[in-house]
Amino acid sequence: MKKGRFLTAILGVFLLLAGVLAGCSSNSSASPKAGSKDNKEITMVFYPNESAKNFTASRKALQEELHKATGKKINIQTTTDYNVAIAAIASGKAQLAFMGADGYIQAHAQNKKVVPLLLQSGPDGTTKGASYRSYLMVQKDKADQYKKDGKYNIDKIKGEKISFVSASSTSGFAVPTDEIAKHFKLKNKDELSEGGKFFSKVLYGTTHPGSAINLLKGDADVAAFDDGDLTPFLKVTEGSYDKVGSTFTVRDDADAPFAEFKGKQLVNLSVLPVQNGPFVVNSGALSKKDIDAITKRFTTKEFTETKGLFSDGKGKTPTLWQKKSDKTILLKVDDDWYKPTHELVGK
């Protein structure tokens, strides 16, 4: 594990042991001891982005579906730090987690019992195209300075102020830093994680919207974030979601904290595919009976019709999954499928 990732992982464990599992359900009782198979209650942990208030309805819908599948009381644990979520699922304090590929791999490295359970399919209902997009964006009124021979690229981002999401974010850190390291032929990606080395300043937005806000406010010159988490706030007004140099405009109906930036525009310097994140289980802390029951219910076509869980990504209220087509479904998945991300993050 790289030095920076090791330190952030230790921080996550420290926070967990310190009892600051932010946003835990107020009526939840103590979680079963790690490794217990006779769970009377099940705890589901979420990353900071999906812990936000605008995901409340989607979390509630998932809580209800988990209860229907298992008959158990489902506790929802929200967080304000990626590493707290990773530590919770790795330790067994939480038995289920909704996370990105990089975070899953970090949790799996801490505890091999943490395995991917389900994955949102690609548009054709298989694992083909089961991905989303990671962007590096700049403000539109400054975008021309990033052109070379009339095309946008990342040649001139060195020495600038950048915002990432979290050092544990796949699309908001691992994927864009891999691209930057390859583009500039860096031997050590760790120098991208803090200011004063490759970048003059490195910020972390904690969530994908938070990283975008750092850019909109002018605190960062460049920002990394994904497409799905920003669709309630940004829309493509020139180009397309998968084309470099496209213009993204803050929606007129965007809620806070984007409301004060209505009409402001951003341009993407890069578009990179990211493997869809898994629905994760700590198989040493949840019974096979419960795992099988969840898998059976969640992989049905009917499940994708659950109100609040799936959307087309065009509405103001975000959901945990976005349907790319009528064939979208959740599929069983294992660690082998995440080999590309394992190689990307070096685990």
Distance between CA atoms of residues 144 and 125, nearest Å? 40
Which of 132, 171, 134 minimizes the C-alpha distance to 322?
Answer: 132
Alpha-carbon distances, residue 68 vs 63, 73, 320 (angstroms): 9, 10, 18
Q: Across all residues in the chain, what is the average pLDDT?
A: 90
Per DSSP, the three-state class of 80 is coil
The 114-120 sheet, strands edge to edge = 73-77, 41-46, 96-98, 279-282, 114-120, 330-332
pLDDT class for 289, splitting at 50, 70, 90?
A: very high
Q: What are phi and psi of 295, to 5 degrees?
A: -60, -45
Minimum mean pLDDT range among 182-196, 240-254, 311-325: 311-325
Alpha-carbon distances, residue 275 vs 76, 174, 255, 326, 330 (angstroms): 25, 12, 28, 20, 14
pLDDT tens readout for residues 81-121: 999 999 999 999 999 999 999 999 999 999 999 999 999 99
- Tell me the percentage of the chain whose pLDDT exceeds 90: 81
Instruction: Confirm if 91 and 34 have CB atoms less than 8 A apart.
Output: yes
Instruction: Confirm if 320 and 309 have CB atoms less than 8 A apart.
Output: yes
Q: Which residue has the tokens 């009409």?
A: 263
Supply the pLDDT for residue 38: 67
Cβ atoms within 10 Å, residue 72: 17
pLDDT tens readout for residues 11-70: 444 444 444 333 333 333 333 344 445 689 999 999 999 999 999 999 999 999 999 999
Under DSSP, the state recorded for 24 is B
Distance between CA atoms of residues 230 and 209, nearest Å? 6
